Amino acid sequence: MNATLETSQGKKTMKRVSIFSLAILVTALTGCESAVPAVCQIGSSFTGGYAVRLTRTGSASSPACDTADTTPAVFGDNWIFDPYAGADGTLIIGYSATLGLPDPPDPASALYGKGYFTALYPDGDDNCTINNFNMSDGADSFAVTDMVWLNTSKYLGAEFKGNVQVVRGGCTADYTALAIWPPVTCETDDDCNPFGQPVGSGINPDFNQGCTIEPWTEALSGDPAVGICFFKAEYPSLGGSFSP
């Protein structure tokens, strides 16, 4: 059982891994970084954005804030992004499924985070950076800084990390964020296998990842018995967990 998340108006549904994801996997396997430099890029919203794990780095603003719907020690979210041509380069626009979308639609809404990559191409460590990316519904907010995306033609922006100041339900806390693309639900490690048959997970085979079933993943899968294929180590969590 492996499926990507499809998000519409902030609500998550299940979707089978697509041919598009498999095409990305082939690119990751065969991409030649020495041929043509790949510009900084992100995973398409077509396959459901990114599965994000937010881990608190200190205490919540009060003991009463250590709850699932405010600022717990760990929680999960689904962040969806799209790239656009902007005056200062590639403009990344995205939103959080937790915060939702404006209703009626409003492209100027603060619910949409906006940020630019600081350079057109990845640096010497294969990283692309967005300095600031803020999403807010007026009461709750995610203020993201130092978003670092793993890139080049080998990784295609399929992982990012960042620091986040979270305000939820009147509570405030600092977090680190770690995110994987595409977001694939799972019940066993086999569901996370990029080379699985008849359909692979679509996850880059260089990632050290497997099926994670923990309380924070229920926000993404919608089922406490179903998890998310996620990293086994901190960024960039490389090494590959599966063999072709």
Share of the chain above pLDDT 90, in %: 79
* Residue 110, Cβ density class (10 Å: 0-12 exposed, 13-18 middle, ≥19 buried): middle
Structural domain contains residue 241 = no
pLDDT tens-digit profile of 111-145? 999 999 999 999 999 999 999 999 999 999 999 99
Structural domain contains residue 240 = no
pLDDT tens-digit profile of 162-188? 999 999 999 999 999 999 999 999 999
Structural domain contains residue 244 = no
* Residues of the domain holding 151: 3-231
Q: Average pLDDT of 22-29? A: 43
Taking residue 243's Cβ as centre, other Cβ atoms within 10 Å add up to 7
Taking residue 89's Cβ as centre, other Cβ atoms within 10 Å add up to 15
CA dihedral sign, ordered 53, 45, 130, 104: negative
Domain count, the chain: 1
Structural domain contains residue 56 = yes
Residue 155 has pLDDT above 70, yes or no: yes
Q: Residue 14 — pLDDT band, cuts 50, 70, 90?
A: very low
Whether the predicted model's global pTM rises above the 0.75 cut: yes
Q: At 186, give phi and psi (nearest 5°).
A: -155, 160
| 215 secondary structure, DSSP code | G
